[in-house]
Structures are given as structure tokens and as C-alpha cells.
Amino acid sequence: NAGVTQTPKFRVLKTGQSMTLLCAQDMNHEYMYWYRQDPGMGLRLIHYSVGEGTTAKGEVPDGYNVSRLKKQNFLLGLESAAPSQTSVYFCASMAGGFIGNQPQHFGDGTRLSIL
Amino acid sequence: AQSVAQPEDQVNVAEGNPLTVKCTYSVSGNPYLFWYVQYPNRGLQFLLKYITGDNLVKGSYGFEAEFNKSQTSFHLKKPSALVSDSALYFCAVRDLGSSNTGKLIFGQGTTLQVKP
């Protein structure tokens, strides 16, 4: 049972390059989320999706785009990488139904460095 | 606005002693509260949640949390700490202001260091 899988696990980019981070979940969850984690700042929500084909902006969406073409996958794109986007990125998913008491389930992260 | 605060950046305890990691919250309405643990180079793992009912909630790995409505707190506790409990702990509250999105608001995290 893989749960939430993120690829790649590590990546180094040069400023201005683009890339896509992939999140895949095998739990048939409706909701998916992308966070970034920076020292002393906890987790900040970048974008999220409440179902296949839907996306919405979170707290810090600038410089990122997302797509949810398939229910199990949630892609995070960096259009033109900047050093300020150096971070650890986490994907999470959550079941539907009564969502008040549902926990989010996290992947192990992608460590991204922008030079 | 809804918020979560973890007033301690780090908590140090000796192995075998009880531990407490503090969390306070601010929400309008009934809170849905969660605790997560993050080990080095891993994602967040769900520990326990409070939705309603008994104020003492039991979770994974022997952890429990006490909900106190009057003090708007949800402190994480364990009767006897293990060195392997050393990790980063996050408290979170469901953002009910954003209906049906499932969003969580996280505290800044508390590093727990358990020394042998």
C-alpha cells in the first residue's frame, strides 16, 4: 500500500528552468494539496484540488501552476524557477464524504534547490 | 480568523519522563483538531484528532491529547517519552471558514528532543 508517492525526491535546478513535481495517491481520495515547508514557517498551502478536474489557489500560489487531470494525480509546475522557491514540497490527499474529521495523508516530500 | 499557535520551538525531556507539547487554537465554532509528527526526511504522519466527545483523545505510538475548550488548548502528551519520539510535531485545525475544501491550518511546529 503505497499511499501518497512524490517524484522526484530530490532535484537541483538553475534559475529560470521549469519543472513538474508529480504526486500520485492510490487511496481514491477526492482532495489533494500541495504545500511547501520552510524553516520556521511551518507548512504553507500552495494549491489544492477538491476533485478531478478542479484546482484552486492556496496561501502562496505565485510562481506555481497545478493540474488534476486524473483523480489519482496532482501535478505541481514551476514555470520559471527562482531561488526563493528552494524548499521542501509536500503533497497530501484526503478522503471525501464528511471532511470535518478526515486527516490529510502526506507523501515524503520533494527537496528542491534552485541555484 | 482561525489560527493555531505552538508556543514552544523546542521541548527537551529525559527518556522515561512524561512529555507535553503545547498547542492553542482560535476558531469560530466547534474545532476539528489534529496532531502530526514528522521524522527527519519524511512526510507528516497523522497521530490523532479531536472532533467531539471525550476530551482525552488517544492516538498512535502511545500519544494522547487533551482538549480544553475553556483554555482553547489541545496539548499533546505521552506518559513516558522514548528517544525514538524525537521529531518535529505539528498541531493543526481544520479551516471551517473555507467550506468543503478540507484545508488545514498548521502551527509552526515544535521540535521534541528526548535524551537518554
Residue A10: its pLDDT value, please? 96
CA distance linking residue A14 with residue A11, whole number of Å: 10
Interface residue ranges in chain B relative to chain A, Cβ cutoff 8 Å: 32, 34, 36, 41-46, 49, 51, 90, 94, 96, 100-104, 106-109
Instruction: Name the residue of chain A whose CA is nearest to B43's CA.
Output: A108
Candidate from A19-23, A74-78, B51-55 with smallest mean pLDDT: B51-55
Q: What is the mean pLDDT of chain B?
A: 93
H or E element in which residue A10 lies? strand A10-13
Q: How far is CA B106 from CA A63, A90, B25, B35, B53, in A?
A: 22, 14, 10, 9, 23
Is the CB of A102 less than 8 angstroms away from the CB of B102?
yes
Tell me whether residue A78 is exposed, middle or buried, using C-beta atoms within 10 angstroms of its C-beta: 0 to 12, 13 to 18, 19 or more: buried
Instruction: Name the residue of chain A whose CA is nearest to B50's CA.
Output: A101
> ∠A99-A38-B57 over CA atoms, to 5°?
40
Tell me whether residue A83 is exposed, middle or buried, using C-beta atoms within 10 angstroms of its C-beta: 0 to 12, 13 to 18, 19 or more: exposed
Q: CA neighbours within 13 Å on the CB side: how many for A96?
A: 9
Is the CB of A99 less than 8 angstroms away from the CB of B34?
no
Residue B30: its pLDDT value, please? 83
Is the CB of B108 less than 8 angstroms away from the CB of A109?
no
* Rama region for A53: left / alpha / beta (φ>0; ψ in -120 to 50; rest): left
Residue B1: its pLDDT value, please? 77
| Cell numbers standing for residue B116 | 537518554
Candidate from A10-19, A76-85, A97-106 with smallest mean pLDDT: A97-106
Share of chain A above pLDDT 90, in %: 89
Residue A40: its pLDDT value, please? 80
Is the CB of A106 less than 8 angstroms away from the CB of B44?
yes
Residue B36: its pLDDT value, please? 97
CB-CB neighbors (< 8 A) of B51 in chain A: 100-101
Residue A1: its pLDDT value, please? 63
| Model confidence pLDDT, tens digit, residues B84-116 | 999 999 999 988 776 678 899 999 999 999 999
**Residue A45 near chain B (CB below 8 Å):** yes
Residue A22: its pLDDT value, please? 97
CB-CB neighbors (< 8 A) of B7 in chain A: none
What residue has cell string 480544553?
Answer: B68
Residue B46: its pLDDT value, please? 96
pLDDT band for position B66 (cuts 50, 70, 90): very high
pLDDT band for position A33 (cuts 50, 70, 90): very high
Whether B69 shows a pLDDT value over 90: the answer reads yes
Give how far A115 is from chain B: nearest CA, Å: 21
Is the CB of B44 less than 8 angstroms away from the CB of A33?
no
The closest alpha carbon to A76, from A55, A51, A59, A97, belongs to A55
CB-CB neighbors (< 8 A) of A4 in chain B: 43
Give how far A15 is from chain B: nearest CA, Å: 24
Helix, coil or strand: residue A55: coil
3-state secondary structure B82-110: CHHHCEEEEEEEECCCCCCCCCEEECCCE
Q: What is the mean pLDDT of chain A?
A: 94
Residue A13: its pLDDT value, please? 96
Candidate from A42-46, B16-20, B58-62, B100-104 with smallest mean pLDDT: B100-104
Is the CB of A42 less than 8 angstroms away from the CB of B103?
no
